Structure 1
Amino acid sequence: MSTRNVVLLGEVGSGKSSIINLIAGRHVAEPSNEAKGGTLDITCYTLSFSRSNVQVNLWDTPGWHPAEEKDVKQRQAVGEVDSLLQTLHATEGIHLLIFCMQAGRAPRSFLKMYNSIYLERAWCKTPVALVVTWLELMQPDMHTWWENNWRSLEKQKLYFHSHACVTTVDDSRDGKQVSQNRLRKLILHHVPTDSLSHVAFCPGPEDGVQLFVTGAREVLWSAPICFPTLAQRTQNDVLIMYDKPLSSAKMSFH
């Protein structure tokens, strides 16, 4: 069974946890409390799908809170997210980054997050998608939001390989079911990265993935321990650094 790592990013209240619950088809992630600044934990939800040889690790990350940008805990949370992305990029790989945003104009803080987390990092060639929430009242279809706003996003230099316009609440048009289909196909699909012109992939409501989640496992993530973060160091500690892959010869220490 192959495994895909999908990382969700967004401001506090953007709907990351609700999106995870919708994909899972059950309540597995606790939505953050915006008044308290959201969760500071990184949590991995591993989902297995029926009739699919794919297992998805959905990584829920701390929400970015613009008003608390200088807060110590907020900076720590952002550092944890960066550490997660570095670790995944160097080991299992990042198969999809999803930026989550409430319907409306993209705030300046969203653009800053997009630039600092995506464009300025080594994984800038990773597939990146936008998920827009709170679209249950959009007429005639939730996808109308994208048709009305994609030019504005590109003027702000916000480019995505794919997108999904969704709602996470029940409505009279079966919008929640449509959204679940779109999101499941988004995380299971191999989004091409040839260009950021958004011509590659956009999951539609009529071709969603009709699969059931057969298993869900929740694990809290902690950053790997590295030399600078060790609690106690002595003058006898030795730091050995290599700028090339380790060979068998380099693995022999005396």
Structure 2
Amino acid sequence: MANSPDLSVLVMGETGSGKSSVVNLLVGENVAEVSSGASVCTPKTVKHEATIAIEVEGQEIQMRVHIWEVGGFNQPEAKPGKTPTTALDMELGPILQVNGSVDVVLFCMQGPKLKNTSTRIFEYVNGILGGHVPIVPVITKLERERENMEKWWDRNEERLESMGLSGTGHACITGLQCARYEAKSAESRASLVSILKGQYSPGRKSTSLENVLKKLVHENPREYNKKTLVKRFKLDSAVAKRLLQ
């Protein structure tokens, strides 16, 4: 049995998309609070750790995984008398403060409630991280699928292709971990682990998130200044200044 280089994962998606459930499946226990509906359980970016056993070339590997549950995207504004608004801001500050890297993004979307907001957020994330790291759609809340959850993707593939979500790999899952859905829960975790295993390779070099954002800033100097970076990515001033250098 051997240890692998660490794998860094960003779990992203709009409010209520099932990010916390994905984290819990990967970790193997309930470390992230799951929303009951209207409440928001990921207002801040939180780091979780997991050790996942995988088999590579006949050898069992203990894959250490850093999981960043990213806050942001369509969080309700806490202003009295105001209607909640859609926001594309995301909190990347905690990741940059520790010079974090990323190997893959798991982008969560509710299967039963797939909507234009999800598409807009996906396009935004893809515009920032696409081309640097894989962005894999994770379709959540499919426990009521009568057949294999993968059938949902088959039925919706044409629509997903029009959204630019085809051909990137995917997982169709439920985050419910209870006796009623025990088999589907196990299948869901296996799908997620398979995605992570696909990103593992000996000698792999992770992508620096700071380098990705620096390139974005330098290629779009009119769009990004210190104030914009602080607001859009929830950075402190020192980190924002570093990205502009």
Is residue 15–residue 102 contact of structure 1 (8 Å, CA) maintained in 2? Answer: yes
Measured in 2, the distance between the counterparts of 1:30 and 1:95 equals 24
> Pick from 89, 101, 106: which aligns with 1:78?
89
Number of matched residues? 201
Instruction: Give structure 1 regions of 4+ aligned residues with deviation exceeding 4 angstroms.
Output: 66-71, 73-77, 222-225, 239-243
1:107 matched residue in structure 2: 115
Percent identity, aligned pairs only? 23
Amino acid at match of 1:115: E
| 1:40 match | 43
Per-residue deviation, 1:161: 1.7
In the alignment, the residues of structure 2 paired with residue 145 and residue 242 of structure 1 have an alpha-carbon distance, to the nearest angstrom, of 43
Residues 228-247 of structure 1 show CA distances to partners (whole Å, capped at 9, x for unaligned) of: 87xxxxxxxxx89996xxxx
Give the conservation status (yes or no) of the 8 Å contact 1:42–1:60.
yes
2:118, 2:243 → 1: CA distance?
A: 36
Which residue, 125, 129, 145 being the options, matches 2:132? 125
- Supply the AA of the counterpart residue of 2:186: Q
Q: What residue in structure 1 maps to residue 148 of structure 2?
A: 141
Larger Rg: 1
Q: Which structure 1 residue ranges, 5 or more long, are not aligned?
A: 193-221, 230-238, 244-254
Q: TM-score, normalised by structure 1?
A: 0.65
Partner AA of 1:143 in structure 2: E
Question: Deviation digits for residues 2-32 of structure 1, max 9, x if unmatched?
Answer: 1111101111111111111122221111124
CA contact (8 A) 1:162 1:191 kept: no
Kindly provide the CA deviation profile for residues 174-195 of structure 1, in whole angstroms up to 9, marking residues without a partner as x.
1111111111222232289xxx
Q: CA RMSD in A?
A: 3.8
Code of the aligned partner of 1:125: H
C-alpha offsets along residues 40-72 of structure 1, whole Å, 9 cap, x if unaligned?
21111111234424211111112522765998x
Residues 1:11 and 1:240: Cα distance change in structure 2 (over 3 Å): closer
Q: Is the 8 A contact 2:104 2:133 kept in 1?
A: yes
Give the letter for the 1:112 counterpart: R
Matched, 1:156 2:159: no
| Unpaired stretches in structure 2, ≥5 consecutive residues | 54-59, 202-232
